[in-house]
Amino acid sequence: MTDGSYTVAVCGATGTVGREIVKILEQRSFPVRQLYLFASKRSQGEKIEFRDDDLSVRELTKSSFDGVDLALFSAGGDVSKKYAPKAAEAGAVVIDNTSAFRLDDDVPLVVPEVNPEDIAEYTARRIIANPNCSTIQMVVALKPLEDAVGIERVVVSTYQSVSGAGRSGISELEQQSIGLFNLKEIHTDRFAHQIAFNCLPHIDTFQPDGYTFEEHKMIHETRKILHRPQLRVSATCVRVPVFYGHAESVNVETRKKLTAKRARQLLQEAPGVKVVDEPSSNLYPTQIQTAGLDETQVGRIREDASLDNGLDMWIVADNIRKGAALNAVQIAEILVSKYC
C-beta of 185 vs 189, nearer to ligand A2P: 189
Nearer to ligand A2P, 171 or 177 (CB): 171
CA distances from residue 33 to 82, 224, 238, 270, 308 in whole angstroms, order as listed: 26, 34, 41, 33, 55
Residues lying near ligand A2P in the complex (CB under 6 A) are found at 12-16, 18, 39-40, 42-43, 60, 75-76, 79, 166-168
Other residues' Cβ atoms within 10 Å of the Cβ of residue 125: 17
Nearer to ligand A2P among residue 40 and residue 251 (C-beta): 40
The burial class, CB within 10 Å (0-12 / 13-18 / 19+), for 69 is buried
**Nearest residue to ligand A2P, by Cβ distance, number only:** 15
Q: Closest separation between CB of residue 59 and ligand A2P, Å?
A: 7
203 CB contacts (<8 Å, ≥6 apart)? 158, 160, 164, 212, 213, 214, 215, 237, 238, 239
For this structure, is 246 an active site residue?
Answer: yes
3-state helix, strand, coil in the chain (%, to 5): 40, 25, 35
Phi, then psi, of 110 in degrees rounded to 5: -130, 135
Nearer to ligand A2P, 97 or 309 (CB): 97
Q: Which is nearer to ligand A2P, 171 or 249 (CB)?
A: 171
Separation of alpha carbons 131 and 323, rounded Å: 8
Catalytic residue among 133, 216, 220, 237: 133
CB of 67 to ligand A2P, least distance (A): 19
Q: Write down the catalytic residue from 11, 220, 237, 246.
A: 246
Is the CB of residue 19 less than 8 Å from the CB of residue 320?
no
Tell me whether strands 246-254 and 151-160 are parallel, antiparallel or unpaired. Answer: antiparallel
The nearest distance, CB 103 to ligand A2P, in angstroms, is 21
Smallest separation (angstroms) from ligand A2P to the CB of 15? 2
We find the least distance from the C-beta atom of residue 87 to ligand A2P, in angstroms, to be: 12
- Please identify every residue annotated as catalytic: 133, 246
